[in-house]
Structure 1
Amino acid sequence: MTRLACAAGLAMAAALLAPLAASAQMRVEALGLTLSATPAAASDYLFRGISQTRNRPGAQLTVEALHDSGFYLGVFASNVAFAGSNARQELDLLAGYRFEALAIAWDLGGVVYSYPGYDRPAGGYRFDYAEAVLKASRSLDAVTLLGTAAVSPDFFGQSGLGVYVEGGADVALPLGLTASGRLGYQWIEREPRFGTPDYLTWSASLSRELAAGVTLAVGYYGTDIGRGRCSGGQKICDDRVMLTLSRRF
């Protein structure tokens, strides 16, 4: 099956799944909680510009419980495929606090990344890791400015200190379109273990809400990592166009 056909199949699955997942949305007034679920299907799963599925389609689900105080808990799940490993799933646990100060919306939290079912070979490196993450955004009419900073004491593959910073903007356009741009940089202490040098990543995309609340996003994503410096010559760091269908319930 071609990559395009796989993406189309996943997109159709997401569209069919959407009405079923509607029941997952719930407001628990007694506890001051809002529960939400966001299924998504994409032609790839990129994390900071690098494919986590070896250039194959990805299917994801994010579930979140947000308290009126601003505290939240969440779970993110996706398929993955890393060369030379049996890792097939990613399961992330998220927690944090959202608040507003100085006319800026802040999100201070953390993420624990895990890969259930992965059997680390003798002499291999651990995949699981944790990050502290700070996000900020400010809306100015049709433009929303965004920033992210993330720090991990021992990044993916036991590659030591990892630091990531990103800036970007979302711009509301006519016809219900939103244009988005992001520019980020990832520092990695032990580059050979991670498989790439420190690198720059960028993206530009357009998104629009379609019928039944489904959002379609089309974007171009890239890094400055040359093929010969990407995890033994893999194509997972190459520039690419990616399609994503998602719906928040």
Structure 2
Amino acid sequence: MLRHLILCIATLAALPAQAQLRVGETGLSLTGTGTVATDYLFRGISQTRSRPAYQISNLELSHESGVYVGAFLSNVSFAGTNARQEIDIFGGYRFTVAGLNLDLYGIWYTYPGYTPAPGQFGLNYAEGALKVTREIGPVTLMATGAASPNFFGSSGTGIYLEAGADWRTGLLDLTAGARVGHQWVERNPRFGAPDYTWWALTLGRDFSIAGIGTVTASIGYYQTSISRQDCAPINGRGQDICGARALAAISFKF
């Protein structure tokens, strides 16, 4: 993993320095995050089969009113398929009520270039979600609920709940985080796994560069309740994409 983290740092250093782009007096601004990580985990499950991920996340055009649209791009690798990239399109509205920060949004997950082989199903799906956060001193609490009418792999209704907290420790400017989530899926055989719980503990630090942006270094431990045998089995054998793992990442926010 150390070798991968060094690769992360070297790759990120090659990125051009950019600052937040404001669009004249329109109230619009463009932001984004470039990330290099040792893996791409989505709700605790590896999307790259434990290989490095290269991502543009939260590429976002937002308005001061709270309305925004954006995109997420990443490499992926699903065993037995020709899916190699993921491009998600999202949009939503952020607002504040009674001290709570709310984010109501929708996402269209797509996998360009993927062609289903005989017996395989479509991967694209839509999801609507609501995220709520609240800051209490150095702690930020969060909760998310999401629903899809036809989840990944044409697996029917998907319901997801997540809760967590981030604590600005005051020690070396480190932020400690914890997350726990649960995914329900209507057609588990098509999804490739039973309903499951995942959790994570993370540690990160921001490095601000005046007039340029913010570099974030992070490391985390992730685990799911899915056994190896039940993890997206192929020919009766489960895969090593749902088990415990560490993830290291370097991100550049502009």
Task: Specify the alignment match of 1:221 in structure 2.
Answer: 222
Task: Specify the alignment match of 2:55 in structure 1.
Answer: 60
Task: Specify the alignment match of 1:240 in structure 2.
Answer: 245
Task: Specify the alignment match of 1:42 in structure 2.
Answer: 37
Question: For 1:80-119, what aligned pairs fall within 5 Å after superposition?
Answer: 80-119=76-115
The amino acid of 2:179's aligned partner reads R
Task: Specify the alignment match of 2:159 in structure 1.
Answer: 163
Shift of 1:112: 0.3
Task: Specify the alignment match of 2:131 in structure 1.
Answer: 135
Post-superposition CA distance 1:104-151 (Å, at most 9, x none): 000000000000111112332000000001000000011110000110
Structure 1 length-normalised TM: 0.95
Q: Structure 1 CA distance, aligned partners of 2:13 and 2:54?
A: 12
Shift of 1:7: 4.4
Residues 22 and 244 (structure 1), Cα distance of their counterparts in 2 relative to 1, 3 Å cut? same
Q: RMSD of the TM alignment (CA)?
A: 1.2
* Counterpart contact for 1:77–1:92, Cα < 8 Å: yes
Task: Specify the alignment match of 2:176 in structure 1.
Answer: 179
SS in 1 for 2:6: helix
* Counterpart contact for 1:11–1:42, Cα < 8 Å: no
The amino acid of 1:11's aligned partner reads I
Q: Structure 2 CA distance, aligned partners of 1:126 and 1:7?
A: 33
Task: Specify the alignment match of 2:206 in structure 1.
Answer: 209
Shift of 1:211: 6.2
The amino acid of 1:15's aligned partner reads A
Shift of 1:239: 0.6
Aligned equivalent of 2:3, options 5, 10, 21:
5
Structure 2 length-normalised TM: 0.93
Post-superposition CA distance 1:2-22 (Å, at most 9, x none): x653443233112221xx140
The amino acid of 1:215's aligned partner reads T
Identical residues among aligned pairs (%): 48
SS in 1 for 2:253: coil
Post-superposition CA distance 1:197-229 (Å, at most 9, x none): 000000000100136431101100010111001
Residues 7 and 87 (structure 1), Cα distance of their counterparts in 2 relative to 1, 3 Å cut? farther
Q: Structure 2 CA distance, aligned partners of 1:230 and 1:122?
A: 21
* Counterpart contact for 2:128–2:148, Cα < 8 Å: yes
Post-superposition CA distance 1:23-77 (Å, at most 9, x none): 5x31113221010021001000000000000000101002101101100000000
Residue ranges of structure 1 left out of the alignment (5+ in a row):
none
* Counterpart contact for 1:181–1:202, Cα < 8 Å: yes
Q: Structure 2 CA distance, aligned partners of 1:55 and 1:7?
A: 14
* Counterpart contact for 1:15–1:214, Cα < 8 Å: no
Q: Structure 2 CA distance, aligned partners of 1:69 and 1:49?
A: 33
